[in-house]
Every structure is written in structure tokens, then in C-alpha cells.
Amino acid sequence: MRVVSLVPSLTEAVAVSAPGLLVGATDWCTHPADLSVARIGGTKNPDVAAVAALGPDLVVANEEENRAADLAALRERGIEVLVTEVRDLPQALRELERVLRACGVAGGGRPRWLDAADEAWAAVEPVGPRAVRRALVPIWRRPWMVLGRDTFAGALLSRLGVENVYGAHPDRYPRIGLDALNAAGADLVVLPDEPYRFTADDGPEAFPGLRAALVSGRHLTWYGPSLAEAPGVLRAALR
């Protein structure tokens, strides 16, 4: 079977579970680090002709990370496209199993990393109301954008006792002015290193008086093998 992945999370999941299955991936697919496949552009601008030229039996994608027009163009060429939707942890685990079944991995048994992810998150103890911290979670600046409602990253943070201040916003990724962000009543700002690469010198200075937690975007937003270590990595960063 020949598979092309348009999603970094799914690229890692397929590559780790069935080495050699992938023949193409996006420029943003950085894991596994030694992945050697054809690169077919970005998640938002894949080279449809290059994907087709690889002769894939299946293209795996995500309704949020990839554009409907690109997926339609692939289907018009007769290519099967599996599109995932991920809003929370249980859904992520179900979608990962669906992708791996479609790739023929299920016949070899459930991947150990998927069991490890289940176990790692099942071991996360519920956080009492008094322990919950209210946080801003910017994902971009110039303009400032934050996590809003119904996001996978927000769901993971909630399991770790971090309430997203904008978790009930009508938009999933609202643009909010910096003055409004600083007046939102948060006691923590969570700054991932993707999609915008926040660093100790780029981000915390915009939120004087708030404790800043720099976190791994791969562990906060990716659904794949990184889920097994995400609780520990995120907890350490959020302390």
C-alpha cells in the first residue's frame, strides 16, 4: 500500500506504526526525524499533481488542517482521501484507529504507542475546582489569535487543570486585541512553539504580570505517538 499524509500528526502515526507505508508527506511533517519520503508542499497548499504522481492508494488528511478544495481536487483524480476530525482526546484516539485500519495496520495488532497514550491519559487524575488555572492560549501574533471553543489543545489543557479563558468564544480561533487579552482575567498564558514559534524572548513580554508557560506544540496539538508522553511533558511546562 502507498500512503500520502497531509497532516504532521498522522504522518508520525503512520510512519511509526507501519514503516515504509508512506511515500509522501508535507514539508511540515518533521517526525519521525529520519523520515525519508517525497515532500509535496504545505498542509494548506499541497502540490496536487505531485501527490497524484506518487500513485497513492490513500491520502490521509484533516478537515481543519487541510483545505476542502485541495481534497476535492485529489478526489477528482480518483484518489481515495480519508479526512479526520479531532476536537477532543477520545475522538483523536478513535480517528487514529480509523486511519491505521484504513492503512491496513490493524491486522498486525494495535500499535503499542496507542495503548501507551490511552494509559498515560487515563492516569491523569481529575483536577478539583480550586486547582483550575485560567489561561490565555495564543497561537499567533500580528495579529493576536488564541484558542477558542471546541479545540483539541483546549481539551488536553482542561484535563490537566487549565481552563481556557476563551473556551466559550463563538470562534474556534478568535482574533483578540492585546489589551483585551490582558484584561481577560487569566492567571497564566500558555505559549506553544507552533504554529507561531513563541519563545522566552518572543511572547511573554506582551503579558506583564502573567506567568508564562512555554510548551511544546507537538505535545499540545498533535494527535499521534506524542500523546503517550504529552501529559508528563505538558505538566512539567505548566508548573
For 12-48, the pLDDT digits (tens) are 999 999 989 999 999 999 999 999 999 999 999 999 9
User: What is the rounded distance in angstroms from the CA atom of residue 152 to the CA atom of residue 88?
Assistant: 5
CA dihedral 152, 153, 159, 162 (to 10 degrees): -140
Burial call 101-123: b when 16+ CB within 10 Å, e when fewer = ebbebeeeeebebbeebbeebee
Burial (Cβ within 10 Å: 0-12, 13-18, ≥19) of residue 130? exposed
Please, are residues 223 and 95 in contact by the beta-carbon 8 Å criterion? yes
Structure confidence at residue 125 (pLDDT):
82
CA distances for 94 relative to 98, 151, 152, angstroms = 6, 16, 13
Describe the strand order of the beta sheet including 22-25 as a list of residue ranges.
38-39, 22-25, 3-5, 58-62, 81-84
User: Tell me: the pLDDT tens digits for 158-217?
Assistant: 999 999 999 999 999 999 999 999 999 999 999 999 999 999 999 999 999 999 999 999
The pLDDT of residue 145 is: 98
Domains of the chain: 3-110 (3.40.50.1980), 129-238 (3.40.50.1980)
Max CA separation in the chain (angstroms): 56
What's the pLDDT score for residue 107?
63
- pLDDT score at 102: 94
Model pLDDT for residues 92-128, shown as the tens digit of each residue: 999 999 999 999 886 667 899 999 999 999 999 877 6
Separation between Cα atoms, residue 165 and residue 154, nearest integer Å: 10
Report pLDDT digits (tens) over 123-149: 998 776 656 899 999 999 999 999 999
Distance CA(14)–CA(120), nearest Å, equals: 20
Residues pairing with 60 in the sheet: 5, 82
